[in-house]
Amino acid sequence: MRKVSGKVRGSALRSNLKLRLRITVWATLLLAVVTTAFLWTTAKAAPQQSPTPASPPAAQSPTAPPSQPALPSYFSGLKAADPTGNNYGVWSTPSGTPNADGSPGGDVPGKLGIADLYDRILHNQYAINIVWTLLSGALVYFMQLGFAFLESGFARAKNANHTMAMTLMVFIIGTAAYWVYGFALGWGNWFNGPAAPGWYPSLGPGLSVLSHGWGLGAHGDGTFKYGLIGTGGFFLTKVFHDVGLLALFFFESVFMETGITIPTGAMSERWNWGNFCLYSAFAPFIYCVFAAWVWGGGWLAQGGVNWHLGNGACDFAGSGVVHCVGGVMALAGAIVMGPRIGKYVNGKPVAIPGHNIPWVVAGSLLLGFGWLGFNPGSTLAGTDLRISFIYVNTVLASVIAAIVSMIVYKLKARTWDPGMMCNGFLAGLVAITAPCAFVTPIGAALIGVVAGALVVYSSIIVEKAGVDDVAGAISVHGTCGAWGVLSVGLFACGEYGAGYNGIPTPVIGLFYGGGAGQLIMQCIDLAALVTWAFVVMYVWMKFSNMIVPIRPTREEELKGLDATQMGVPAYPDFQPAVKEELEFAG
């Protein structure tokens, strides 16, 4: 009798806990809906700002009205590279610094006029922005270690070396390809993109040499009605040796490698090494062409100017350009590649646990740390004080998404899952990446709520559809990246972005009285993204399979790619267990 009553009490406790969890989830969602409705019905469009110089991602050289004095060259654009920064204002030198002939020189404060001081102030501003951009890029560079831990941890022990080696070499081969052709395609015509009057590049006038491209509807001055690709900057030849330009080159390179790394997480444990290397050299093409359309002044960025749809495609730090492109590429690649041996039995998915979930947690935290360079660094200006909002919005969206994913997964699977907590955390980061500068902290939290639920349900749907995604990359980056793109059209609050993509007003979404124009533009952006990335990646995987097979042999996959392709296992002491698994599968 005692045992029976104990079971009854245990069952009652479990039912009670489940009921409480459901009440908590519904209460959270209800609060989100009420808050959104309140913002929608009470918010008014923010007053117009004067254009923020550092806001637009691409621009024309501004022309001063005749009534104003001519601007210094560091405003109007040099149209020539500056390899030392000597033309970026004037570098202050201590009083008494000797000249070449030994006579006293340097700055004498009492003799400096207003123009002299202004030259020195602008030089310092450019220096701050360049250092900010380089350090932010270094944080994004560090994210590759996070990907290595995360993806290797989700893989089995017999493929740990192979998976980690992919995260290394996709970065190395991809960056080399980016130097050869990727930067030119994506940013070669950056300076000729749409911009509001008075704009100048935050990284200095030398970026004006990025004025070579191709598109439809040429205006005769290097600009196009519909920009398609850049054509300047292949191999970074001498004409592009500029201090500000190279800062941009580095910063965008680490974004590119983040995007093309994403498919390695979905397709690990079964990707033949030779085919993977071919992918790493080709993937920057997919990424950089789409980046040209949004960040290189291309036709999607021009949607506000050409079609009067908000501020054109707004993707501040890359929910779409980086993450959704990578996630869609992962989806196409995983469909062509097929699932791992043993993943589906009689058409039903079978769980294949990762070998080291602590690595997954460590990798997620490293990625979160790097994201604090990813999003704020996308201002390309340490002097743009909106960076404090971007930091807070980034953190809020990630933590809220992690909490929601933890609860939703518990309700679905009746267990806590550290791997899903990590993917929820990353889903929030991915989703806030596009709107991070344009939304309020409350908006960021609501974006995180949706992302936390989306990543759980998307993972279930993808698995049931027969797509084997080892690390959950399709759901984290593809699904939640798409949500991030759309969320700009809903939650942009009108506080920031005046001048963005050539539109003088700030970026305003539907919930803040901005109408449906921005949301429609974000939908067009997303449709173009999915079509481009999926079709080109699908065709590439089919084509490259005719050159080097996509998958290893069955025997190699069962034995493990560490032993068969890397030549050395990650865990030599575990090899007897791998042998038993091979015998069982055989």
Neighbours of 357 (CB within 10 A): 15
Question: What burial letters (b/e) apply to 135-154, b meaning 16+ CB within 10 Å?
Answer: ebbebbbebbbbbbbbbbbb
Q: What is the pLDDT of residues 130-151, one digit of tens each?
A: 999 999 999 999 999 999 999 9
pLDDT of residue 459: 98
Domains contained in the chain, CATH given: 123-340+357-378+385-548 (1.10.3430.10), 555-586 (no CATH)
**Cα 470-471-476 angle, rounded to 5 deg:** 130
- Percent of the chain past pLDDT 70, that is, above it, reads 83
Cα separation, 560 vs 583, in Å, equals 13
Sequence-distant (≥ 6) Cβ neighbours of residue 41 within 8 angstroms: none
Q: Is the C-alpha dihedral spanning 159, 164, 170, 173 positive or negative? A: negative
* Closest of 347, 453, 447, 357 to residue 408, by C-alpha: 453
Mean pLDDT of 71-76: 61
Name the pairing type of β-strands 348-349 and 224-230. unpaired
Q: What is the pLDDT of residues 371-390, one digit of tens each?
A: 999 999 999 999 999 999 99
Cα separation, 422 vs 399, in Å, equals 10
pLDDT of residue 58: 36
Cα separation, 354 vs 422, in Å, equals 13
pLDDT band with cut points at 50, 70 and 90 for residue 573: confident
Sequence-distant (≥ 6) Cβ neighbours of residue 405 within 8 angstroms: 420, 421, 423, 424, 425, 427, 452, 453, 455, 456
44's tokens: 């008014």
pLDDT band with cut points at 50, 70 and 90 for residue 77: low
Q: What is the pLDDT of residues 502-553, one digit of tens each?
A: 999 999 999 999 999 999 999 999 999 999 999 999 999 999 999 999 999 9
pLDDT of residue 53: 39
pLDDT of residue 116: 87
- Residue 503: phi and psi, rounded to 5, are -100, 125
pLDDT of residue 28: 57
Mean pLDDT over each residue of the chain, to the nearest integer: 89
pLDDT of residue 29: 57
- Residue 570: phi and psi, rounded to 5, are -70, -30
264's tokens: 């390695």
Please say if the pLDDT value at position 436 is more than 70. Answer: yes
Burial of 84 (0-12, 13-18, 19+ CB in 10 A): exposed
User: HSE-up of 122 (CA within 13 Å, CB side)?
Assistant: 23
Q: What is the pLDDT of residues 10-55, one digit of tens each?
A: 555 456 656 655 665 565 556 555 555 554 444 443 344 444 434 4
Q: What is the pLDDT of residues 233-276, one digit of tens each?
A: 999 999 999 999 999 999 999 999 999 999 999 999 999 999 99
Q: Give me the DSSP letters along 223-248.
A: -EEEEEEE-S-GGG-GGG--HHHHHH
pLDDT band with cut points at 50, 70 and 90 for residue 195: confident
Range with the poorest average pLDDT among 91-100, 126-135, 374-383, 403-412: 91-100
Between 281 and 25, the higher pLDDT residue: 281
In DSSP terms, 227 is beta-bridged to 215
**DSSP character for 251?**
H
In DSSP terms, 214 is beta-bridged to 229
